[in-house]
Structure 1
Amino acid sequence: MVFVANHLSWIDILLLSGATGTAFIAKAELRRAPLVGWLCTLNATIFVSRADRMAVTAQIAQLRDTLARDWPVTLFPEGTTGDGVTLLPFKAALLAALDPPPPGVRVQPVRIDYGPATHELAWVGDEPGQHHAARVLKRRGSFVATLHFAEPFAPADFGNRKAIATEARRRIEAL
């Protein structure tokens, strides 16, 4: 299964991992981050280099290998965190791993929703990760987080990576 989700915060990773056992695709810089890097190694995280466009072929192969081992993977196609109100443009390069899809792999769009706390929890702009974590952990009160799962679809029904991204986006927006 490939989960395709909107992305608001590092909290998304805790939610999706706890609910589905998924691995993630993460920027290579996180591998060296204190604590976060170690946590990433616990669940088969696929690290991607945003700076090295030539590495995308190897990253697609790594994603295909992970999916062939029947390990679910989450892709945040916005490529960064957004405000939780509107979706950013989807980057479809890694969805090439689904063209053609490994046998039995489906795509399940997911919308992450923090309700009224969205603006407080979203990690938008250039705020350093440690500041965002401290701000979130210091906030008073609780919040409700909801994972809205759309119906999974067969990526082969949509052809190429761009069509798969378009369909996933359409389904997330409909949730």
Structure 2
Amino acid sequence: MNNINKKIVINLEQRYLELYQNSELLGHYPVAIGKASTPTPTGNFEVLLKRKNPGGALGSRWIQFTWQTHGIHGTNQPWLIGQAVSNGCVRMYNTDVKDIYKQVEVGTPIHIYNNLNSNPNPDYTIYKVQPGDTLYKIAQKFNTSVAELVKINQLKNPDLIHPGQKLKITQ
């Protein structure tokens, strides 16, 4: 797997993690974040350490990004994904964290932010169409409209999208 120019971007407000290679969006995943008393830190970090099967509440994978032991990890409580419940870590479904784990290396940049003003890709992101995708499904996934997707991508026939095609998604 080519790890060059990969980065993780985590939006705490929207509670999602995105994996990019250059400006291409490779994956968009729901997460749980730190509760108010132990918030997930914001700023620029990098992958410091990776561990398979760390056990217990950490689920199937551990990706550490601070020396204060904050990390991205799986969970043994998947029903809490989408909530602010952790001690500052970023929790993911175990299948999702396995996907991220195999695509990043120690040193991969991680940008964690709270609001849209600090988004490193403010105008749009790039999404690669997956098998089974329709514009309607993509619009739902990114909280936009089919009309907006057609407009920004200048699609002549919205019924003709194909796996591997790259689409701009407005923020």
TM > 0.5 between the two? no
Which structure would you say has the larger RCO, counting Cα contacts within 8 Å and 6 or more residues apart? 1
Give the alignment's TM-score, normalised by structure 1: 0.27
Higher strand proportion: 2
Give the alignment's TM-score, normalised by structure 2: 0.28
Higher helix proportion: 1
